[in-house]
């Protein structure tokens, strides 16, 4: 089962992500939501998700920094990064991370579903 | 091939009718004959029985008085009946009291009868020659004697014989009549059958121009109608097939690709066109009747193509290396479809040599790959121009940025620079000519000019003027792109907004070329219209003075600075642009939300409106709250 942490400074965006995920036929639990990178890191340490969805542009700690911090704790956890800025440099810098997926906002429902299914499969294979 | 001897149905019918009649007549004759015999026999027995009874009655007194002579005389009266051979009066002890002719044979016959039957009772005996009737003579209820009369069967025989001759005559005459009738009757049934037979023989000799015209009112009429209908259908279908064949021949003769038609059953080629002959370097006579493998083979083998045919019944554009039996090799595209050719189930296969196209395709793929890599790298470079939004957070209470080039790179760019003393900043939203690579080039130029402008401001005390900044862009771009000369081939520039903000002094100034700046203050939407003058183009007036707007930002104000990509996007039911009216309506609904939520709403609304339409242009929207 996917245990998902959703991070976005927009409450509306988090709500939409959660609603979209709930419409998928994928076993999951939204274990927490955070509105910035710092809060997300705290929740990550306490709730131990196996998938993090995070915006890039956030106050206090942006998504790139958050990703870096998470990787220090857990190397292989799957992270989906979403951004309203098509910044190729950021994408390029995150490209090397094979457990990281980049989605441009607004989020494509099909793409999100594909990624979630892939992550679910990986987790099942791992167990 | 029929092994049995052919016998006409007419003869069979005549035979059947005749045979039935013969059997019927024969049985009838036998029945009549037997009936007549039995009737005659009964008559004779009845007659004799009567005589015996009556005579017995008459002889009672004679016997009682033991007058045998009188009894003999009485018996003599039997000569009136010529069939009576003899008669006896037997006493109970079986002695003869009186007789008619006293024949020993007759006597023995009569006595033999009493061995089986009781002399006191009435009895009858019949054989081929004699009829014997014995009747007891009773006086009161006392038995006194038995009278036996022996008669010959000559009369019966005579009657039977006469009957036999008559019946035989009748039998044969009837047979003749029946045969004659049979001959007539069978024609009623066989004539339509022969008509049908003749028509079918015509059809079997491929003569379909035959109809059976008959005005019968029985089942044969249904048969004829069905036959005629079948012939009409065959004629129609034959005509259709002829047309089909002609069409196929016409199409085949006009196909400019190598074509083989292979019989599914025989697995040999039944047709090849001249292009196939040329490609495979074989003459038509060499090709026809050969298997495909005799002409060419596939480098991947036939299994894949066979599997496709088995699965889908056809093959559409299958690529493989083809090796002809003459040693030629080329990359081919093969298509195979089922076809009916000359009333036979076949496959039509077309192949085309795409070797040159493959080479070109690979070259194009390489070029595309290089181009793509170049553009991806260009995207990296352009992304380097994009400011760090954390810098913006130092100046604005809240903000969002949407930057979506239409392609990997685009003509939209937003720039943010801190100026002096951590108090001043400059925000620009620039929409350069076009999008994609050309637009991206212009953004680089804009960035270069912007760097110069910012550097000059940083190292001076000059009052920052967005309008002046646009003017500097205007003249610099025209100069750098050599667009001061109207004969210049290039004509690039931009539309856009420049915003200066001093957070210490709470001063915000802005200027715009073409695009509006929207802002909300005191829950009221205000619009700063852009000057109707673009920046940097050949037609742009190098001396144009852009309008500078000063906005009081002592109160909370939310700004929206956007290129026209957002409101120019086509979508909705009618495929029309989103428009500023809808934008303003959306702003009215969301302006009080957090900037993060407003960004989400901007993105979601844009995508929902765009739907399946392609993106028109680059989209850049910067929202910030002071």
Please answer yes or no on whether B384 and A89 come within 8 Å at the CB atom: yes
Mean pLDDT of B317-343: 90
Which tops the pLDDT comparison, B115 or A52?
A: A52
Nearest neighbour of B601 by CB, restricted to A12, A87, A88: A12
Closest-CA residue of A relative to B390 is: A59
Closest-CA residue of A relative to B379 is: A88
Among A85-94, B13-22, B93-102, B274-283, where is mean pLDDT lowest?
A85-94
Interface check A100 vs B, CB under 8 A: no
pLDDT at B3: 67
Please answer yes or no on whether A104 and B386 come within 8 Å at the CB atom: no
Q: How far apart are CA B146 and CA B367, in angstroms?
A: 145
Is it true that the peptide bond before B486 is cis, omega within 30 degrees of 0?
Answer: no
| Residue B435 token pair | 């999008």
What pLDDT band is residue B255 in, cutting at 50, 70 and 90? confident
Please give, rounded to a whole number of angstroms, the shortest distance from the CA of A94 to a CA of chain B. 13
Average pLDDT score, chain B: 89
Mean pLDDT of B304-314: 88
Show which of residues 348-377 on chain B sit within 8 Å of chain A, judged by CB atoms: 376
pLDDT at B2: 60
Q: How far apart are CA B52 and CA B41, in angstroms?
A: 16
Please give, rounded to a whole number of angstroms, the shortest distance from the CA of A87 to a CA of chain B. 5
**How many contacts (CB atoms, under 8 Å) link A and B?**
71
pLDDT at B470: 96
Nearest neighbour of B604 by CB, restricted to A11, A16, A87: A16
Percent with pLDDT over 70 in chain A: 100
The helix (H) or strand (E) run that includes residue B159 is helix B154-204
The ipTM is: 0.85
Nearest neighbour of A13 by CB, restricted to B405, B408, B596: B596
Mean pLDDT of B261-266: 92
**Residue B264 CB: number of other CB atoms within 10 A?**
12
Tens-digit pLDDT profile for residues B370-388: 988 888 888 888 888 889 8
The helix (H) or strand (E) run that includes residue B427 is strand B424-432
Interface check B411 vs A, CB under 8 A: no
Closest-CA residue of B relative to A87 is: B383
Which tops the pLDDT comparison, A57 or B621?
A: B621
Mean pLDDT of A50-69: 91
pLDDT at B210: 86
- What separation in angstroms does the CA of B87 have from each of B77, B79, B93? 11, 10, 17
Is the CB of residue B417 less than 8 Å from the CB of residue B454? yes
Q: Which residue has the tokens 């009052």?
A: B463
pLDDT at A97: 80
Tens-digit pLDDT profile for residues B226-253: 999 999 998 898 888 888 878 877 888 7
Nearest neighbour of A9 by CB, restricted to B382, B596, B601: B596
Nearest neighbour of B603 by CB, restricted to A90, A92, A106: A106
Tens-digit pLDDT profile for residues B24-35: 888 988 898 888
pLDDT at B400: 92
What pLDDT band is residue B481 in, cutting at 50, 70 and 90? confident
Nearest neighbour of A85 by CB, restricted to B380, B386, B601: B386
| Residue B353 token pair | 């040599």
Sign of CA dihedral B271, B276, B280, B284: positive
Which tops the pLDDT comparison, B52 or B497?
A: B497
Interface check B601 vs A, CB under 8 A: yes
- Residue numbers in A near B405 (CB within 8 A): 86
pLDDT at B302: 85
- Residue numbers in B near A59 (CB within 8 A): 393
Best A10, A58, A63, A66 residue to mutate vs chain B (most B CBs within 10 Å): A10
Q: Crossing angle of helices B436-458/B466-480, nearest 10°?
A: 130
Give one word for B579, left, alpha or beta, with left for phi > 0 and alpha for psi -120 to 50.
Answer: left
Percent with pLDDT over 70 in chain B: 100
Mean pLDDT of B451-457: 94
Please give, rounded to a whole number of angstroms, the shortest distance from the CA of B533 to a CA of chain A. 29
Res. B297: pLDDT tops 80: yes
Res. A47: pLDDT tops 60: yes
Please answer yes or no on whether B400 and A84 come within 8 Å at the CB atom: yes
Nearest neighbour of B599 by CB, restricted to A16, A84, A90: A84
pLDDT at B402: 92
- Residue numbers in B near A92 (CB within 8 A): 380
Among B148-162, B257-271, B281-295, B502-516, where is mean pLDDT lowest?
B148-162
| Residue B620 token pair | 């850049």
Which of A77, A88, A82 shows the shortest CA–CA distance to A10? A82
pLDDT at B567: 95
Res. B344: pLDDT tops 80: yes
What pLDDT band is residue A2 in, cutting at 50, 70 and 90? very high
Nearest neighbour of B597 by CB, restricted to A11, A59, A88: A11
Please answer yes or no on whether B600 and A59 come within 8 Å at the CB atom: no
Interface check A21 vs B, CB under 8 A: no
Burial B87-118 (b: 16+ CB within 10 A, else e): bbbbeeeeeebbbbbeeeebbebbeebbeeee
Please answer yes or no on whether B382 and A105 come within 8 Å at the CB atom: no
Res. B71: pLDDT tops 60: yes
Mean pLDDT of A40-57: 93
Percent with pLDDT over 90 in chain B: 41
pLDDT at B286: 92
The H-assigned helical ranges of B219-332 are 219-254, 274-280, 284-287, 303-312
Adjacent-strand bridge partners of B138: B143
Interface check B599 vs A, CB under 8 A: yes
Please answer yes or no on whether B404 and A88 come within 8 Å at the CB atom: no
Res. B1: pLDDT tops 60: no
- Residue numbers in A near B389 (CB within 8 A): 57, 62, 85
Tens-digit pLDDT profile for residues B181-220: 888 888 888 888 888 888 899 888 888 888 888 777 888 8
Please answer yes or no on whether A88 and B382 come within 8 Å at the CB atom: yes
**Residue B412 CB: number of other CB atoms within 10 A?**
28
| Residue B58 token pair | 């008459």
Closest-CA residue of B relative to A56 is: B389
Please give, rounded to a whole number of angstroms, the shortest distance from the CA of B509 to a CA of chain A. 26
Residues in chain B: 626
Closest-CA residue of B relative to A86 is: B404
């Amino acid at each position: 089962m996917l245990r998902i942490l959703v991070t976005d400074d927009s409450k509306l965006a988090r709500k939409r992500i959660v609603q979209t995920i709930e419409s998928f036929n994928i076993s999951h639990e939204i274990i927490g939501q955070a509105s910035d990178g710092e809060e997300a890191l705290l929740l990550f340490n306490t709730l131990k998700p196996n998938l993090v969805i995070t915006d890039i542009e956030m106050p206090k700690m942006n998504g790139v920094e958050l990703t870096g911090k998470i990787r220090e704790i857990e190397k292989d956890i799957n992270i989906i990064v979403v951004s309203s800025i098509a910044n190729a440099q950021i994408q390029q810098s995150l490209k090397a991370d094979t457990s990281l997926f980049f989605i441009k906002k607004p989020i494509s429902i099909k793409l999100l579903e594909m990624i979630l299914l892939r992550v679910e499969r990986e987790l099942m294979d791992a167990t | 091939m029929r092994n049995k001897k052919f016998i006409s149905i007419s003869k069979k019918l005549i035979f059947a009718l005749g045979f039935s009649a013969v059997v019927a007549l024969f049985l009838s004759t036998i029945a009549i004959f037997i009936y007549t015999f039995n009737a005659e026999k009964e008559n004779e027995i009845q007659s004799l029985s009567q005589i015996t009874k009556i005579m017995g009655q008459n002889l009672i007194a004679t016997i009682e008085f033991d007058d045998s002579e009188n009894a003999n005389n009485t018996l003599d009266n039997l000569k009136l009946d010529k069939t009576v051979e003899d008669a006896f009066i037997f006493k109970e002890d079986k002695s003869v009291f009186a007789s008619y002719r006293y024949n020993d044979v007759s006597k023995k016959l009569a006595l033999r009868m009493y061995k089986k039957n009781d002399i006191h009772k009435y009895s009858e005996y019949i054989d081929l020659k004699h009829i014997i009737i014995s009747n007891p003579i009773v006086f009161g209820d006392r038995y006194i004697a038995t009278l036996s009369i022996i008669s010959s069967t000559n009369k019966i025989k005579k009657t039977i014989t006469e009957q036999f001759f008559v019946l035989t005559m009748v039998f044969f005459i009837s047979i003749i009549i029946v045969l004659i009738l049979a001959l007539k009757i069978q024609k009623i049934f066989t004539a339509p059958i022969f008509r049908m037979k003749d028509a079918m023989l015509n059809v079997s000799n491929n003569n379909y121009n035959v109809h059976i015209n008959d005005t019968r009112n029985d089942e044969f009429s249904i048969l004829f109608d069905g036959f005629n209908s079948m012939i009409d259908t065959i004629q129609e279908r034959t005509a259709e097939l002829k047309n089909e064949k002609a069409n196929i021949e016409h199409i085949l003769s006009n196909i400019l690709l190598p074509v083989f038609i292979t019989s599914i059953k025989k697995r040999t080629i039944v047709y090849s066109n001249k292009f196939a002959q040329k490609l495979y370097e074989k003459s038509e006579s060499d090709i026809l009747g050969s298997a495909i493998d005799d002409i060419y083979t596939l480098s991947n083998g036939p299994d894949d193509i066979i599997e496709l045919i088995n699965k889908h019944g056809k093959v559409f554009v299958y690529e493989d290396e083809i090796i002809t039996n003459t040693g030629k090799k080329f990359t081919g595209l093969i298509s195979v479809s089922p076809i009916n050719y000359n009333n036979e189930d076949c496959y039509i296969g077309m192949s085309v040599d795409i070797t040159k196209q493959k080479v070109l395709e690979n070259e194009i793929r390489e070029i595309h790959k290089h181009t793509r890599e170049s553009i991806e790298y260009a995207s990296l470079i352009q992304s380097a121009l994009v400011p760090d939004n954390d810098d913006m957070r130092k100046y604005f209470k809240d903000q969002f940025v949407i930057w979506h080039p239409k392609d990997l790179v685009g003509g939209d760019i937003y720039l943010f620079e801190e100026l002096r003393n951590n108090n001043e900043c400059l925000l620009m939203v620039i929409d350069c000519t076009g999008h994609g690579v050309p637009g991206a080039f212009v953004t680089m130029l804009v960035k270069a000019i912007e760097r110069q402008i910012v550097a000059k401001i940083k190292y001076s005390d000059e009052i920052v003027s967005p309008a002046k900044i646009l003017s500097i862009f205007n003249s610099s771009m025209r100069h750098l792109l050599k667009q001061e000369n109207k004969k210049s081939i290039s004509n690039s520039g931009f539309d856009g907004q420049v915003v200066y903000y001093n957070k210490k002094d709470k001063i915000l100034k802005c200027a715009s070329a073409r695009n509006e700046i929207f802002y909300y203050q005191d829950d009221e939407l205000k619009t700063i219209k852009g000057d109707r003058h673009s920046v940097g183009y050949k037609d742009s007036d190098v001396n144009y003075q852009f309008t500078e707007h000063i906005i009081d930002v002592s109160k909370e104000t939310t700004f929206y600075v956007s290129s026209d990509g957002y409101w120019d996007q086509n979508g909705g039911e009618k495929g029309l642009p989103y428009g500023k009216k809808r934008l303003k309506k959306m702003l009215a609904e969301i302006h009080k939300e957090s900037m993060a939520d407003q960004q989400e709403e901007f993105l979601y609304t844009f995508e929902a409106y765009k739907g399946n339409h392609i993106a028109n242009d680059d989209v850049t929207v910067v929202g910030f709250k002071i």
